[in-house]
Amino acid sequence: MLRQMSTTRIFATGAGALFLVFFIFQYMTPHAFSSTWSTSATRIGDPSSVFNATLGFQKIYVIDLPKRFDHRDGLSLAASMTGLQLEFVDGVSGLEKNYLPADYAKTDLDDGALFCWRAHINVARLMVEQNIASALVLEGDQDWDIRIKEQMYLYSEAARQYLSQPEDKPRRHLDFAPNTTPGASDAPYGAIEDWDMHWIGHCGQDFPPEDSDIPSSRVVIQNDDTVPESQHIDFGFGRHDLIEEYANHTRVVSHAKGGICMGAYALSLPGARNWLWRLGIESLFSAIDVMAQGFCDGWGGRPINKCLTVVPALFSSHRPAGNASAHSDIGHHQGYVDKAYTKNVRYSTRLNLGQLVEGNTDYVDSYKDQTPI
Ligand SMILES: *[C@@H]1O[C@H](CO)[C@@H](O)[C@H](O)[C@H]1NC(C)=O
Ligand SMILES: *[C@@H]1O[C@H](CO)[C@@H](O)[C@H](O)[C@H]1NC(C)=O
Ligand SMILES: *[C@@H]1O[C@H](CO)[C@@H](O)[C@H](O)[C@H]1NC(C)=O
Ligand 1, atom 6, residue with closest C-alpha? 58
Ligand 3, atom 11, residue with closest C-alpha? 323
∠ CA(112), CA(117), CA(118), 5° rounding? 100
Greatest mean pLDDT among 179-193, 195-209, 322-336: 195-209
* Residue 6 predicted with pLDDT over 90: no
The H-assigned helical ranges of the chain are 2-7, 17-23, 29-32, 69-82, 111-130, 148-163, 241-245, 269-275, 288-297, 353-358
Contact 152, 55 (CB under 8 A): yes
65/235 Cα distance (integer angstroms): 28
Q: In terms of Cα–Cα distance, which of 367, 310, 370 is closest to 341?
A: 367
DSSP-derived secondary structure for 283-315: ---S-HHHHHHHHHHT-TTPPPP-EEEEES-SE
What phi and psi values does residue 143 have, to the nearest 5 degrees? -140, 165
244/255 Cα distance (integer angstroms): 19
CB of 248 within 6 A of ligand 2: the answer is yes
Which ligand number lies closest to the CA of residue 133? 1
171 compared with 47, residue with greater pLDDT: 47
Burial-class residue 13 by CB neighbours within 10 Å (0-12, 13-18, 19+).
Answer: middle
Maximum alpha-carbon separation in the chain: 59
What phi and psi values does residue 48 have, to the nearest 5 degrees? -75, -5
* Residue 168 predicted with pLDDT over 50: yes
pLDDT of residue 169: 56
pLDDT exceeding 90 applies to what percent of the chain?
74
108/287 Cα distance (integer angstroms): 10
pLDDT band at 14, cuts 50/70/90?
A: very low
Ligand 2 binding pocket mutation candidate from 220, 230, 367, 368 (most atoms within 8 A of CB) = 230
Q: Three-class SS of residue 239?
A: coil
Q: Which helix (H) or strand (E) holds 175?
A: strand 173-175
DSSP 49: G
Taking CA atoms, 212 is separated from 37, 175, 297, 303, in Å, by 44, 22, 10, 13
Question: For residues 321-350, b (16+ Cβ closer than 10 Å) or e, as one string?
Answer: eeeeeebebbeeeeeeeeeebbbbbbbbbb
The percent of the chain in helix, strand and coil, each rounded to the nearest 5, is 35, 15, 50
Q: What is the pLDDT of residues 301-322, one digit of tens each?
A: 789 999 999 999 999 999 999 9
Q: What is the pLDDT of residues 252-265, one digit of tens each?
A: 999 999 999 999 99
295/213 Cα distance (integer angstroms): 14
**How many C-beta atoms lie closer than 10 Å to residue 197's C-beta?**
24
Looking at residues 106-130, what average pLDDT do you find?
Answer: 96
Ligand 3, atom 3, residue with closest C-alpha? 325
328/317 Cα distance (integer angstroms): 10
Provide the whole-model pTM.
Answer: 0.87
Ligand 3 binding pocket mutation candidate from 70, 325, 338 (most atoms within 8 A of CB) = 325
Which ligand number lies closest to the CA of residue 334? 3
CA 41 to chain centre: 25
